[in-house]
Structure 1
Amino acid sequence: MKRTRFTDEQIIGILAEHEAGAKCADQCRKHGMSEGTFCDGKAQFGGMTASEAKRLKALEDENAK
């Protein structure tokens, strides 16, 4: 499995900055990510907080067992 460059918490933080009014292209340039990665993160974590993402990850790990 490919290792991701950004953690879930980092992606959620970047998305929070975007929701606060920053433009997508500016965020991508600032953090060194592609717009495709940004859109994938938005699809996966849109509207979540870091604690909700941790809970989701724990449930996914438990279901994998």
Structure 2
Amino acid sequence: MEVSEAKRLKALEAENAKLKKMLAEQMLDVATLKEMLGITF
């Protein structure tokens, strides 16, 4: 693996971690809102 490929991989892994965190936060927000509204599934 070349240096540029390793840097790209590291950047993609960082972006992936950021997106996973954003998704988890949004899922928590939705769950909280559903609980506040008394919606159950």
Q: Answer yes or no: same fold by TM over 0.5.
A: no
**Of Structure 1 and Structure 2, which has the larger fraction of its residues in helix?**
2
Instruction: State the structure with more CA Rg.
Output: 2
Structure having greater relative contact order (Cα 8 Å, sep ≥ 6):
1
TM-score normalised to structure 1 length: 0.28
